[in-house]
């Protein structure tokens, strides 16, 4: 194999690594490879790293970048499923932290509703809505 550079993509032919597409992420005395594609060349996110000697590059061939096959249609087709799982996780995280979630919800509701006979100044109601929404986002993110 000719000279190798960071961000090149290779595929093992006879090397002692699992089948797949690897991105070169480091070149020194050894070559560091990150697995970014499966054996069929489809994008995967594994975090799997292999370090090989430069002379082991003879067991590799160049490969196409699996990210080059990205299609907006596939992304849009997976959007409803993605939104479902994000909302499910958000709601479960809120349920796991009921007291902070309730406080943030009350602030949001009090700031956004106008009760008869109760008038809050505009900056106060806007501030309550902002703090309540920010609180729900913080609690629902799982950082609490």
Strand order in the sheet with 21-27: 49-53, 30-37, 21-27, 9-12, 60-62
The answer to whether 20 touches 66, Cβ cutoff 8 Å, is: no
Q: What is the pLDDT of residues 55-96, one digit of tens each?
A: 888 899 999 888 766 678 877 888 999 999 999 999 999 999
Q: What is the pLDDT of residues 3-61, one digit of tens each?
A: 889 999 999 998 889 999 999 999 998 999 999 999 888 888 888 999 999 888 889 99
pTM above 0.75, yes or no: no
Boundaries of every domain in the chain? 9-69, 73-140
* Cα pseudo-dihedral 42, 44, 49, 55, rounded to 10: 0
Residues 6+ apart with CB under 8 A from 141: 93
């Amino acid at each position: 194999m000719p000279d190798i550079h960071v961000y090149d993509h290779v595929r093992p032919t006879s090397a002692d690594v699992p089948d797949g597409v690897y991105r070169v992420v480091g070149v020194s005395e050894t070559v560091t490879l990150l697995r970014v594609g499966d054996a069929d060349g489809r994008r995967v996110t594994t975090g799997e790293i292999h370090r090989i000697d430069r002379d082991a590059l003879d067991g590799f061939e160049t490969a196409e970048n699996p990210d080059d096959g990205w299609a907006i249609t596939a992304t849009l087709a997976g959007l409803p499923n993605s939104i479902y799982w994000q909302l499910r996780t958000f709601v479960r995280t809120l349920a796991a932290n009921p007291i902070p979630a309730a406080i943030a919800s009350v602030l949001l509701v009090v700031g956004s509703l106008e009760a008869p006979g109760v008038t809050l100044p505009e900056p106060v109601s806007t501030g309550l809505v902002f703090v309540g929404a920010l609180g729900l986002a913080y609690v629902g993110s799982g950082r609490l």
